[in-house]
Structure 1
Amino acid sequence: MMPAQGLDWAGLMRVGLHQLRLRPAEFWALTPAELAIMLGEGVSAARPMGRSRFEALLARFPDRADGSERTNQ
């Protein structure tokens, strides 16, 4: 088993303090999730819906002919 890799604190601080222009107190107050969002991680995870997925959703949840809205039950 390989040892777990630690965080690149020097790299994270360089990006946070220089690129993002955070003050040290602001950098250290961030949660890892907040820092990841600021660095753009996870942005590409949300892909646009393709035609086949859209068609599958239409088949699963068709519009009602009378125009009424669906209620959660």
Structure 2
Amino acid sequence: MRAAGGEAPARIFPWEAVLDAGLCRLRLPPSVFWDLSLVEFAAMAGAFAPRSARLSRAGLVGLMRDYPDDGGGGSPPSVTA
């Protein structure tokens, strides 16, 4: 079913995921959970946290080239400062 004007249909709200995050992962009491606005909940769930940099495939290849496994199965070399 499409909305008037040919717009895409509305997505179903992910209640199961929101309830799991709020009540299980964040361990909020139900009264606190239900009193939150969507913006407050999103902030508590980390939606506005800066994304951490991820290692790209090229970065991994570079690390593997620069720090190859020695193949000996022994302890890694000691590091001195």
Q: TM-score, normalised by structure 1?
A: 0.55
Residue pairs, 1:22-61, within 5 angstroms: 22-44=28-50
| Deviation, structure 1 residue 6 | 2.5
SS of 2:50's equivalent in the other structure is helix
Q: Which runs of 5+ in 1 are unaligned?
A: 46-73
SS of 1:16's equivalent in the other structure is helix
Structure with the higher helix share, 1 or 2: 1
Distance in 1 (alpha carbons) for counterparts of 2:42 and 2:11 = 17
Q: TM-score, normalised by structure 2?
A: 0.50
Matched, 1:10 2:16: yes
Distance in 1 (alpha carbons) for counterparts of 2:33 and 2:39 = 12
| Deviation, structure 1 residue 44 | 1.4
What is the percentage of aligned positions where both structures have the same residue? 36
Aligned match for 1:19, one of 25, 38, 49: 25
Q: Which runs of 5+ in 2 are unaligned?
A: 1-6, 52-81
RMSD of aligned residue pairs (Cα, Å) = 1.4
Higher relative contact order (Cα pairs below 8 Å, separated by 6+ residues): 2
